[in-house]
Chains A and B, each alone.
Chain A
Amino acid sequence: MTANPTESVLTDPTTNGQDGPLLEVEDLFVEFRTRDGVAKVLNGVSYHVDAGETLAVLGESGSGKSVTAQTIMGILDTPPAYVTGGSIRFRGQELLSQSAEKRRQLRGDGIAMIFQDALSALNPVFTVGFQIEEQLRIRKGMSRKEARKRAIELLDLVRIPNAKGRVRQYPHEFSGGMRQRAMIAMSLALDPQLLIADEPTTALDVTVQAQIMDLLAEIKAERQMGLILITHDLGVVAETADRIAVMYAGRIVEHGDAHSVYKAPGHPYTTGLLNSLPRLDLKGQTLETIKGLPPSLLNIPSGCPFHPRCPKAQSICSAEVPVNHDLGNGRYSKCHFAEEVVRNG
């Protein structure tokens, strides 16, 4: 089943305690069969999350972060999307072989997800309260009254002022930040153990972004939830993430604890991402951007997929696919020169 067994070493043995990680994605392959051809969107993605831990998934848009999340949730449409290999284990149970009905039961209850644009992720024809209560009534068998009470508690929990009144309002009557809070409240309704937040703050302005991130971090800690934080913004994760997985062209090119990855990235792509970010500690810097465009997934470059854009590329890079280099302490990089990159930046 695993198409490329040599790549499945990403699972960190130190976190693989007696129970194993909360969620473990291993060597996941997904392709979209479209009229233009087959887009190989995921090419062996592996990562894991533990309870009470935040994993940040970084990468430019189009690198497959959302597709990975939606594959975990099981909400990709087939066609056009096909899972062609790999495994997803939640609390040790394989999800990909489960029945559709069983996977549906797990959504919301075991794993929940929040979306980038809360305005479009909330149904415009129902009140915010209704959308929270609906799950409680159907999945938990609560009465209308109990569900309403719980919905108000949840809105209170995400610090929506005047929750009693707000519960009766429609999404368009909420401000952007409050909508995202309502979305978070909705995803927490069934007490999931894992929350996937797909760019939860991209649509918001900077101050509100920070508030939402704080809220997520706090709720995660309180409930000992696993949190997968998807973003293309390194600044957002600096405070919240325990570990970072950097994605490029449908694979994890670098993985490690947040602190060391920031301090000394092990992959030229990560270096590029970090350099494209304004840093408060380096005054008078010039911002660099990564040159070139992300590769077409219909036609991924040979060897290291990053080589057409990589400033450190050598001839070996276009010829050989780099394996996962173990850099110690659970750090991995898929670069031929990983050790050198860590040492010399």
Chain B
Amino acid sequence: MSDPTMAAGGVATEEPADYVTGAEHAEGTKEKTRSLWSDAWHDLSRRPLFVLSMFVIAFLVLVAIFPTWFADANHRLRDLDRARIGPNVPYLAVCMAIIGSAITVVAAILATVGKLRDGVCRTMAPYVAGIGGLILLGGGLVNSVTLYIVIGAVVLACGIVSGVPKVSQMLRGSASTWGLVAVLAVAGIAGLVISFGDLSTVEIGAAFGYDQQGRDIYARVVHGTRYTLLVGFTATLLTVLIGSTVGILAGYFGGWLDNLLSRIGEVFFGLPFVLGAIIILSAFRSAGFDSAPAIVAMVVLSISVLSWPVAMRIMRSAAISAKQQDYVKAARALGASSRRIIFRHMLPNCLAPVLVYATIALGAFIGAEATLSFLGIGLRDPAVSWGVMIADSRNYIRASPLLLIFPASFLTLTVLVFVTIGDAVREALDPKLR
């Protein structure tokens, strides 16, 4: 027969010792490195709705931490003489006008920044102008102030027109952006001047009126933010923590442990949420937990205990697919310990789907807290939340619908904002979920 080394192995000797192509050299000098997370963040920071939602959340968190900065009235003070007095409409209108005008000024600044440096500021400006215009318009409508209505309508129109994709493209980098900036700036500053002028003509305080026990609704909405967000955030954190830990252990170890943990998860998953929560909460209620932290802890616990199987399933399937990846095998082949493989190598790769779930769950849990509170088994005095306020209003829905409408609009807005964030995060991470 023939020389064995000739069997198609000859290629190796013909190849020059140059091991790397020119393109690879060029690539190697690139300064910035990208990871999955920085890629996703890069993508997210360009979505105007996401950025806007994050600002809203940041504001709500600020309100939750320092409620007294935003409301100086005592939210616990009852005065039955003023029970169910309606909103202080003139004051409310002026406040809305001030806020709307300030937001309009911000929109003008964003448009200016967007003109100088193309980016998310440019795409955000129409949204911000729209919101400012709506609030101004609303302020004008509640008290029939023609000036506010006119300014609000102009700003809203600017926001809508400049937000139309074709117009937005046309305005991009063009000098006509300065026209938009001018209109917004003039409208915003005029609004501010006028509304601050009007401030001295109105009686200050109780913008949202008083509830059935004569408590300042505005102050209660502001102070309720704290408990609403506290329940939402801690319930999400606890759910994700329990669910991920159980899920990743079940997914990694498999076998009987997986079977056991999955069955336990199914038991909790099988319980209808509201029924399960009623049982847990009424059991604890009769045990007499009456301080605000204890009440919050019970509500958080019951939400998490009933929801962790969802997070567990997501984490478990992510862990099973991560475990079959070669990099886990490679880590084992290099002698990494199980603990290190699970928490160092698998966890970061399994985080994306759980994170998406968490952001959406946050909105859902805030809603769940309201539901439980409405049913009378969630938060209660001394803890105040929007859900508690909605529950308190239930007997007066016909007579004083505003008792319901104020807390309900804040609740809806907050849930909406979290769901928007959840959607954006999912889209940013999805193509890489594999």
Contact = CB atoms under 8 A, between A and B. Distances in A.
B254 A124 contact: no
Given A125-B349, A166-B28, A279-B8, A173 B334 contact: no
Interface residues of B, number: 48
A123 interface: yes
A113 B333 contact: yes
A115 B327 CA distance: 9
Given A124-B36, A124-B327, A187-B334, A210 B11 contact: yes
A115 B4 contact: no
B7 A75 contact: no
B331 interface: yes
A123 B327 contact: yes
Interface in A185-237: 186-187, 189-190, 206-207, 209-211, 213-214, 234-237
A278 interface: yes
A79 interface: yes
Contact of B36 (A113, A125, A236): A125
Contacts of A281: 2-3, 6-7
Contacts of B348: 125-126
A63 to B, nearest CB: 19
Contact of A280 (B6, B35, B37): B6
Contact of A122 (B3, B10, B13, B327): B327
A134 B334 CA distance: 10
Interface stretch (A32-40, A81-89, A258-266, A304-312): A258-266
In this complex, the member of B7, B15, B27, B348 whose beta carbon has the largest number of chain A beta carbons within 10 angstroms is B7
Interface string B9-29: 111110100011101110111
Given A121-B326, A124-B327, A161-B25, A279 B332 contact: no
A107 B333 contact: yes
B24 A178 contact: yes
Given A121-B326, A263-B4, A138 B340 contact: yes
A265 to B, nearest CB: 9
Contact of A214 (B12, B332, B349): B12
Contacts of A258: 4
A237 B12 CA distance: 11
A173 B12 CA distance: 26
A170 B36 CA distance: 9
B7 A124 contact: no
B1 interface: yes
Contact of A162 (B11, B28, B325, B326): B28
A77 B254 contact: yes
9 contacts: A73-B333, A135-B336, A170-B35, A175-B23, A190-B334, A235-B11, A238-B6, A239-B12, A274-B7
Per CB-CB distance, the 8 closest pairs between chain A and chain B, nearest first, are A262-B4, A238-B9, A235-B8, A107-B335, A210-B12, A108-B335, A108-B334, A121-B326
